[in-house]
A and B are shown apart, each in its own frame.
Chain A
Amino acid sequence: QSALTQPASVSGSPGQSITISCTGTSSDIGLYNYVSWYQQHPGKVPKLIIYDVSNRPSGVSNRFSGSKSGNTASLTISGLQAEDEADYYCSSYTITSTLYVFGTGTKVTVL
Chain B
Amino acid sequence: QVHLQQWGAGQLKPSETLSLTCAVYGASFSDYFWGWFRQPPEKGLEWIGEINHNGDANYNPSLKSRVTLSVDTSENQFSLKLTSVTAADTAVYYCVRGPKVVGNWFDPWGQGTLVTVSS
Contact = CB atoms under 8 A, between A and B. Distances in A.
Interface residues of A, number: 26
Nearest to A35: B104
A102 B104 contact: no
A77 B91 CA distance: 29
B45 A52 contact: no
A52 B102 CA distance: 11
Nearest to B111: A45
A46 B109 contact: yes
The number of chain B residues touching the other chain, given as a range, is 20 to 34
A97 B60 CA distance: 7
Given A97-B61, A98-B61, A99-B58, A48 B105 contact: yes
A28 to B, nearest CB: 9
Interface string B80-119: 0000000000000010000000111111111110000000
A98 B94 contact: no
Contacts of B108: 48
Interface in A1-56: 3, 32, 34-36, 38, 45-48, 51-52
Q: Which 8 A-B pairs have the closest CB atoms?
A: A34-B104, A51-B105, A48-B107, A93-B104, A100-B47, A45-B109, A102-B45, A105-B44
Interface of A: 3, 32, 34-36, 38, 45-48, 51-52, 57, 89, 91-93, 97-105
Interface of B: 44-47, 50, 58, 60-62, 94, 102-112
